[in-house]
Structure 1
Amino acid sequence: MGYKRKTTMGYTLEFEIYESGGCAYHKVGDKLKYPEDRGIMCPWLLDSASGMINVLRFGGTLPWKYTGTPYEKEIDPEGVTTEFVRCPDPTSDGVVLKIIRKKQ
């Protein structure tokens, strides 16, 4: 009998590539599951998202809402919550990742 570590505390996390200017790893509309698809994600993008992933997977939300922008969030602790994060590539090739948290 072993210890099984909880990784999402009652939530599922999915990622969607929201913007991509020419990234070699990801195209707009690509969908990934966390943590299952970590190995196929750009490591720089995953690193950029890691803080937000940790907040969301344990039930937290981030305070900014991006009101009036294309990145306006949904926040519903009992349903769907979204967050957006950019990769560190400062060129037009950079990626915007949409993180989608759903209550299990």
Structure 2
Amino acid sequence: MSGTLLIAPEWLGRSGLWQIDAKGKRKAVDAEDIGLSEELGDRLEAWMDAFDAIYDEDDPTASDFANQVERMAWEAEGHALAHAIADALGSGWTVQQDFTSWRGKGLP
């Protein structure tokens, strides 16, 4: 298996993983769908739980962490996850990350 994977928190209850097809269309996937270990899946779930805890569906632009330190720690874990996922998937995959686009969106 190979392709492009985007790590981006959007929509409550999602895994934060999106497989991107050749036309640029996103498809939500879970860690096990792409063969990631249970350990990486658990880390990703904990990271997304932290996002879900601060995300306000009614006002995404008002959603934020309690302070800059918490936001930076969350982003650092996201970057670490991206690197760990890229290592686990191997050279056939491109792993991208977007940790901020949800701030400006009114998501469905």
TM bucket normalised to smaller = 0.3 to 0.5
Structure ranking higher in helix proportion: 2
Q: Which has the higher strand share?
A: 1
